[in-house]
Structure 1
Amino acid sequence: MVAAVDPTYPLYPIACILSAVMLLLVLITSFIRQSWNLGVAFLCFWLFWENITFGINAIIWSDNSDIKLYIYCDIVTHMQVITSVVKPMATFIITRRLYLIASLRSVELPDKAVKHRNLAIEWTLGLALPVIVAGPFYYIVQEFRFEVLAGFGCQSTADDSSLGILLINSWAVVPPLLSIAVYYPRVLRIFYQQKRAMDHFLQSNNSVSRLSFFPIFALASIDLILTLPVGIVTIVLEVVESLVQTGNFPLYTGWNVLHSNMEPLGLSYTKLVAAGTSTLAQLYFVHWTSPVLAFAIFSLFGITAEARASYWRIICTVEGWFGWKPPIRMRKARSPTGTTEFGARPQDTSLNLDIESQPSYVDPNARAEQGIEGRGVRGLTHELEGDSYPEIAEEPYMEYNYTANTGAHPNQHRGDYDPDGEKPVDASNAV
């Protein structure tokens, strides 16, 4: 077997596959909790597919630049173009939403018309526009059907021209610059100038807490740090390379020139090294930004208390399929409400910045009955799908635990009482 051309192999494919699994966990737990931030959801979805395909590519073409798997490469290269647009657009969507929340001091928009318009804007920026860029825009400046790089696999190729930069590469620069110039400083200014008022808002509005607001803000910052430099360096290298090779930087190479020969192109690792240290470094940096960004997303959203509770719920469900049951001690350890029992299982709750598209409200006045060792029970958070308006969830029916406090069940005196007939729901399932 020929040795891999990448000296770090298999570090990169392992990182890509591991990061894809982490993103999948974030998506699954968000689906279970019905907790969505549209910008984060777009970013996680497309990053998942990009990382999984990057990992596969690095394995298949680890020691060669053979042109093969034509249909697969066609799909993957167009997906790469979509993701290259989604990453900066997701940052723009996130910072814009944070600005709306910080300025309006509210997680819900004023009326239905504004809500629908905002939703249309976000879906256009996060899905429609990237698909258009990867479709007709990319075809206008597509230089080869695809390009196979030894050690990296199939890649998209765009014409080194002013039109190519405008239609493809500019999206990695313009949205981050708008975020930095328009929304990012305004969010910071509002928080620092009106810190006391914003602290009161975050504390009084249970749907937006500091624990949920700042991870989103941190993600937008990390994405800006990774996306904007890559976009600027890519454009600069393309311009410099074109000037060195041809002496000029054309406005557009021409439709007939580009589309007369659309065959794939394969480049060995030797040719990549010969292209220069800057080109090779930029290639590595671009490929590593996706798994690094995925690790950052998981560290911010994949290890929260709500996410860990969802993982445990998934594990218990899978064990139930095989007839296994977790130890009673483990179930009790995950029951933060002690002996309180609920008559019905509520919908799962999350405060994971569902300024997202689903504001959530908690009723802090809900209390358990007086006999339960003075322990209060918080109201339920009702997560709404989409950008719906918040509703106050009904307080769940609560049973007094007579057995724990009196030693006897209230129906024990009845002749037809069956101690096995009533099985209260474990409070850990209601968290």
Structure 2
Amino acid sequence: MNKQLIPCLYLHSEKAVTGFGQRNLFGDGNVETLAKFYGDNGADELLVFDFSSADAEHDRAIGKIRDICQASEIPVIAAGNIKRMEDVKKLIYAGCAKVVLNFSKENNIKLLEEVSRRFGKERMMISISDLREFTENQDLIETYADTVLALDTVENEIAEISQISIVLHTDENRSENVLELLGEPAVSGLCGAYVSSLENDLHTFKETCEEAGIPVNTYKSNIAWSDFKLNSDGMVPVIVQDYRTDEVLMLAYMNELAFNTTLKLGKMTYWSRSRNELWTKGLTSGHVQYVKSLTIDCDNDTILAKVEQVGAACHTGNRTCFFKPLMKKEYDDINPLHVFQNVYDVITDRKEHPKEGSYTNYLFDKGIDKILKKVGEECTEIVIAAKNPDKEEIKYEISDFLYHMMVLMVEKGVSWEEITKELVKR
């Protein structure tokens, strides 16, 4: 099993810090940016501690955790200030993959079975600061939790009596000591000061782990470079697509060094034929391309890269290099996601720029009760249509429902991206 590297964020009242250098990120609005940065740069999961006190602060912290979950493409684990079922529910609904119950608190021990049965054992992590907290509750933990977060160096003692997965939280800052801890058979993951401080060097640290024989998640190719069919310059062309929209962004070339550097850094790296040098996209401009997948074609001579594009792909400042139309035959775009987003955008525009006589503006003017009434009516129409053997009627009614549902989404500020992210999690 590959070992996990898990940076930490700590929410303190109106501030959020990484725990390393106590960097204030909350006031600057950069918490989400940092969470996303960790995911793009080699972190496997993200652990967020809520150290807020009063209920109002706790609600704001949960809101901030929701923002972090939306920005992060790696699983988010929430810890701290969990007192009741409602706290767990809010964190799970906010998008957290797991929640941490602190077993130094009696109410958390009593809470585990209930929340595990409701939300699933795989979502439960137990924090242990003393071996006694584990031994006195071992059967309960093993039955209803998935992982132990060891806040003190008790991982080996737990491993002697249990097979449960253990993530070790440590303030250790020396790389050789951290490697030794991560290399322990009992440890399935590591979080704390050292991992949080690595930032740009997570990929490099993973290389060090592999050299030490510690299995970690890295980018590896299923096909050796020697099996690629190269062009006369010893390179392969790379077609680059946005991983969310499939928009074609650019075409570039890789030699073996560029290919291996891409795998090492997790950022698209090419060989510049004009400058005759290695070129990591965005190194100077900031328009980085984070690798999501690399696929080779049937002849092994062209790579398709799906990336997360930061900023513009083209040197002209355009999002894509392919922006000069040559010819176009009119056609209907029936890509479902494109259609949904286009209708959503039209509805949004109606809300922002009302148009006289618009039915959409009529719904917005009447308010949420009218919108909800229409959504309910359309649901009923679907039920009635479904009893009809002719599928044309149900297609019409579902389309009507989807339109009114999108009016509701716009009214409540819910985007298709948020919906699709939630569906993916399920």
TM-score (norm: length of structure 2): 0.23
Higher alpha-carbon Rg: 1
Higher relative contact order (CA 8 A, sep 6+): 1
Q: Between Structure 1 and Structure 2, which shows a larger proportion of strand residues?
A: 2
TM-score (norm: length of structure 1): 0.23
